Amino acid sequence: MSKANTTVTLPEGASLRRVAQVLLDAWEADPRRWMNGPPQFREGEPSKPAMPVPQDAMDLFRLLHERRLDYLLVGGMAMLTYVKGRNTKDVGLLMSVAALEKLPELKIEDRNDFFARGKFRSIQVDLLLTRNPLFKVVSEKFAIKHAFAEMEVPTATVEGLIVLKLYALPALYRRFDMDRAAVCENDITMLIARHCPALEPLTALASQYAEPGDKKELQKIISECCERARLLQQRAGQ
């Protein structure tokens, strides 16, 4: 039988609308998101796809696991677990200097007391080092595990990500790094809108480790993000 005359039968419970959505999702996403399991054509709540993580990033996570190195996934890839549509090809890790020194495959290109940047194969890796006392607090108190493909990866919680982004924003403003500041503000807004965390203790924690002149600015930032989150929730509920 030729391909032109092949009969296609939909799975039981499927609809053409659901088939179209599955095909659209497959076209828009990295194939690794949907090759590990059969497409879900049934109506209703779709099964959660695997995180769209580059293979080199997964290999980095495996290497960290095999060497039993403590780390926490932060940044854009961590945001993937909480906010739909947020994506990045870079990896952000929070870890100690001692753990970093046991990972020679990660080629460090720039480093100071609290931050480093390097490459693992094709992946850019941004590092927050636990020499910074706030980063150490986040690593100890704001950690959870999320599934990435077949692995469970230690990841910053919603609250931990908000604290880190609040802490980073004043320095971004001073450097006139408006693009990154806008991303941080939007991330905070979306985390608030989707997850409604208790914000007062998070703002207090970020303020505790911020520069003295930044404390009022942090209050202003969180207030503005809360207002934008409220408007998003209001419009989405209409």
User: Do residues 124 and 109 touch, judged by C-beta distance below 8 A?
Assistant: no
pLDDT single digits (tens) 34-92: 334 444 444 454 445 555 688 999 999 999 999 999 999 999 999 989 998 776 778 99
Burial class of residue 67, CB neighbours in 10 A (0-12, 13-18, 19+): exposed
Q: Residue 228 gets which letter from DSSP?
A: H
Tokens 């945001």 identify what position?
A: 79
Q: Where are the domains of the chain?
A: 30-37+48-156, 157-238
Residues 6+ apart with CB under 8 A from 60: 91, 106, 120, 123, 125
Q: What is the CATH number of domain 30-37+48-156?
A: 3.30.460.40
* Per-residue pLDDT, 17: 55
* pTM of the predicted protein model: 0.79
Q: How far apart are the C-alpha atoms of 153 and 163, rounded to whole Å? A: 20
Mean pLDDT, the chain cut into blocks of 10 residues (238 residues total): 48 52 43 40 48 85 97 94 81 97 97 97 97 98 93 97 97 95 96 96 97 94 97 87
SS3 helix, strand, coil % of the chain, rounded to 5?
50, 15, 35
